[in-house]
Amino acid sequence: MSLSKNKTKVKQLAKRGQLVQKPEDILKSTCLLEFLGLESKASYTETDLEGAIISKIEHFLVEMGKGFLFQGRQIRFTFDGDDFFVDLVLYNRLLQCFVLIDLKIGKIKHQDIGQMQMYVNYYDRYVKTKSEKPTIGIIICKDKSDAVVEITLPKDNKTIFAKEYKLYLPSKTELMKLLSEK
């Protein structure tokens, strides 16, 4: 709670427990991918990141939040003669919807958000059934720019999310420094 920006919400959550009503309720703000064993200073590709996640899929699903099920990786769909590949396709049984994951090893760009919007639109129009809820798209990136996300997406967006990942928790010294800044 000491690192929380909204201590009132944390106290309310502790009293009533977590209610799952919208996508934000099941998603963590940052994914801690320490269990993948990737070195934070080493050079790695999006394919390396994806492969590491697949080899530890159970840990990844737990890290994502509640109710996630794995459907596949590099799921291809063809549209207007072009092939597109969704890095990871999950399903959330609590929200009853597809969850598309796009992995980025760098800073998020507006093009990444536009690409995810196309993937979500495709799934909503051609894959999901009438009984399922709208598809959710999550871009998991090394560096998230709230400003880029905010200006790229419509104000009423409830289906596209950008989440930062960290390969390792901060050291005790780094945590102490963060606490002293507050």
d(CA 168, CA 109): 23
d(CA 60, CA 80): 33
Closest CA to 159 of 167, 173, 149, 168: 149
pLDDT at 1: 45
Q: Residues in the chain with pLDDT < 70?
A: 1-5, 10-21, 23-28, 40-42, 182
d(CA 134, CA 89): 14
- Paired tokens of 53: 């996640």
Domain positions in the chain: 22-176
pLDDT at 15: 64
pLDDT digits (tens, 9 = 90+) for 162-181: 888 777 777 788 778 877 77
22-176: CATH topology: Trna Endonuclease; Chain: A, domain 1 (3.40.1350)
Tokens 């890290």 correspond to 63
pLDDT at 42: 67
Taking CA atoms, 134 is separated from 17, 19, 21, 112, 125, in Å, by 25, 19, 13, 19, 10
